[in-house]
């Protein structure tokens, strides 16, 4: 008998490989066309308009094929919702009760289960917790979709606020002989960082036909419906959020020239030119940004930028004629810039006067995302008849935890 799952996996793998091959072919065409554009500029002072248009089309194809290969790779790695759980008996009962609530509005069984588990906020006003495996599937998908969540530090908590002390002066250490007296260390300077969790919601709608169809996996449907909505809202907040009813983005903290950096601020390197890289040796400024971070942070460094900024950097070469930006070597992996991974976030600003359009650093140490355990669903069959709405909420917070781990590039004179 043929294993259908095995065949689907092989098929997905073949599609991923084909999409990635197309991506690599597009990059070769991009290099060839860009080299022609540079030669035309050198010979005639300007590029031929047809060459520029062709380069723009190839760039669009390059981005499209990269997104396709990445999405296929993510889909192939996506966990199955029906996998093993931590407590099979409990989770099976919760899954069956949740299915009854979503399909028919029967809240009696799930309410009893949550009361027995002493869950807070049980009842129709607060909705009911989704099964643990559905929550895991949503969170896994969020990490795959949200560029900042994929590189930041993540903590799960049960309360509304996560607090942690941080030694801003570093740990006092030293060498001492085995039997020698230990000198008293100086008192470290501690800062208490607080990361409140805020509510984010999505409201997918379902028809009665879908809910009555026993073949439809309701958990999977709900996870697929909310993950993109959550990821889009989260991604924006982690970059530019003002901290009011949402996480605080790393671009909204006070910024200072890196030479004057102090704790609580984020340092930046200026390009020296308003709204642009310098015309001569622009890659040197990217090197300055890399080496503005200390060695422990550089080891796990990642660039964060949007598509427009990536397009500008993609055309740059070093002194030996090698492109600074290089494509990934396998599907699902990030491209690299000067040997460091690139995370593309469309919530980063375009290059403009004094914009902070390029970030670099160890985001796993620099930015912390705090998830409160539990995703809740409130069934609403009345507001949009004949459809049933599912008000789905989760709580998430975020902010900078190590102000020395992230550096920015300012596209300004100083």
Please report whether residue 221 resides in a domain: no
Spell out the residues 6+ positions from residue 79 whose beta carbon is closer than 8 angstroms to its own.
136, 137, 140
> What SS3 state is found at 52?
helix
Please report whether residue 28 resides in a domain: yes
H or E element at residue 233? helix 218-240
Q: Specify the number of domains making up the chain.
A: 2
Give the predicted TM-score (pTM) of the model: 0.79
Of the residues 77, 107, 128, the one at which a domain ends = 77
Q: How far is CA 176 from the centre of its chain?
A: 44
Please report whether residue 192 resides in a domain: no
Please report whether residue 238 resides in a domain: no
> What SS3 state is found at 404?
coil
- Please count the other Cβ atoms lying within 10 Å of the Cβ belonging to residue 249: 22
> What SS3 state is found at 145?
helix
Please report whether residue 34 resides in a domain: yes
**Residue spans of beta strands (DSSP E) within 197-246:** 198-202, 205-206
Please report whether residue 33 resides in a domain: yes
Please report whether residue 239 resides in a domain: no
Taking the C-alpha atoms of residue 60 and residue 351, their distance in angstroms, rounded to an integer, is 19
**DSSP string for residues in 263-297:** TTSEEEEE-SSTTS--SS-THHHHHHHHHHS-HHH
- The pair of structure tokens assigned to 10 is 């092989």
- The pair of structure tokens assigned to 405 is 């781990």
Taking the C-alpha atoms of residue 289 and residue 313, their distance in angstroms, rounded to an integer, is 14
**Residue spans of beta strands (DSSP E) within 291-335:** 302-305, 325-326
CB distance 363 to 151 below 8 Å: yes
Taking the C-alpha atoms of residue 400 and residue 294, their distance in angstroms, rounded to an integer, is 17
Instruction: Tell me if the bond preceding 384 is cis, omega within 30° of 0.
Output: no
Taking the C-alpha atoms of residue 385 and residue 128, their distance in angstroms, rounded to an integer, is 22
Of the residues 27, 47, 77, the one at which a domain ends = 77
Name residue, tokens 């909204």: 252
Q: For every one of its 414 residues, what pLDDT tens digit does the chain have, with 9 covering 90 and above?
A: 444 444 444 455 577 777 777 878 888 888 899 998 888 888 888 888 898 889 888 888 888 877 777 666 655 555 444 444 456 666 788 888 888 898 988 888 888 777 665 444 444 456 888 888 888 888 888 887 889 999 999 999 988 899 888 777 655 566 777 776 766 665 666 778 899 999 999 999 999 899 998 888 888 899 888 988 899 899 999 999 999 999 999 999 999 999 999 999 999 999 999 999 999 999 999 999 999 999 999 999 999 999 999 999 999 999 899 999 999 877 778 899 999 999 999 999 999 999 999 999 999 999 999 999 889 999 999 999 999 999 999 999 999 999 999 999 999 999
- The pair of structure tokens assigned to 316 is 């740059």
Please report whether residue 210 resides in a domain: no
Spell out the residues 6+ positions from residue 414 whose beta carbon is closer than 8 angstroms to its own.
257, 270, 272
The CATH number of whichever domain residue 349 belongs to comes to: 3.30.2320
Name residue, tokens 């790779």: 73
The range of the structural domain enclosing residue 326 comes to 250-366+403-410
Of the residues 57, 77, 97, the one at which a domain ends = 77
CB distance 410 to 354 below 8 Å: yes
């Amino acid at each position: 008998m043929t294993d259908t799952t095995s065949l689907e996996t092989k098929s997905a793998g073949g599609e991923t490989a084909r999409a990635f091959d197309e991506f690599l072919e597009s990059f070769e065409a991009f290099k060839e066309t860009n080299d022609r554009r540079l030669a035309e500029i050198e010979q005639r002072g300007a590029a031929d308009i047809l060459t520029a248009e062709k380069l723009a089309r190839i760039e669009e194809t390059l981005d499209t094929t990269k997104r396709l290969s990445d999405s296929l790779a993510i889909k192939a790695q996506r966990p199955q919702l029906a996998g093993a759980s931590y407590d099979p008996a409990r989770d099976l009962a919760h899954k069956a009760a949740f299915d009854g609530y979503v399909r028919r509005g029967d809240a009696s069984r799930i309410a009893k289960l949550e009361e027995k588990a002493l869950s807070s906020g049980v009842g129709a006003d607060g909705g009911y917790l989704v099964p643990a495996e559905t929550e895991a599937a949503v969170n896994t998908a969020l990490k795959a979709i949200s560029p900042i969540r994929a590189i930041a530090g993540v903590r799960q908590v049960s309360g509304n606020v996560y607090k942690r002390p941080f030694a801003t002066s570093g740990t006092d250490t030293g060498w001492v002989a085995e039997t020698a007296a230990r000198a008293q260390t100086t008192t470290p300077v501690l800062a208490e960082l607080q990361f409140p969790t805020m509510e984010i919601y999505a409201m997918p709608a379902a028809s009665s036909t879908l809910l009555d169809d026993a073949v439809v996996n309701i958990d999977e449907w709900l996870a697929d419906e909310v993950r993109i909505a959550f990821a889009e809202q989260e991604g924006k907040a982690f970059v530019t959020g003002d901290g009011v009813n949402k996480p605080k983005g790393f671009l909204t903290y006070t910024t200072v020239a890196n030479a004057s950096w102090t704790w609580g601020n984020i340092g930046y390197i200026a390009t020296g030119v308003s709204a642009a890289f310098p015309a001569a040796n622009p890659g040197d400024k990217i090197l300055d940004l890399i080496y503005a971070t200390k060695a422990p942070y550089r080891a796990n460094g990642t660039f964060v930028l949007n598509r427009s900024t990536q397009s500008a950097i993609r055309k740059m070469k070093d002194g030996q004629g090698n492109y600074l930006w290089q494509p990934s070597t396998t599907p699902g992996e990030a491209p690299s810039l000067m040997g460091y991974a690139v995370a593309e976030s469309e919530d980063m600003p375009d290059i403009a006067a004094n914009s902070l359009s390029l970030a670099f650093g160890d985001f796993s140490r620099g930015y912390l995302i705090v998830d409160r355990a539990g995703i809740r669903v409130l069934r609403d069959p009345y507001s949009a008849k004949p459809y049933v709405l599912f008000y789905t909420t989760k709580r998430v917070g975020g902010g900078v935890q190590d102000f020395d781990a992230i550096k920015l590039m300012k596209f300004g004179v100083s």
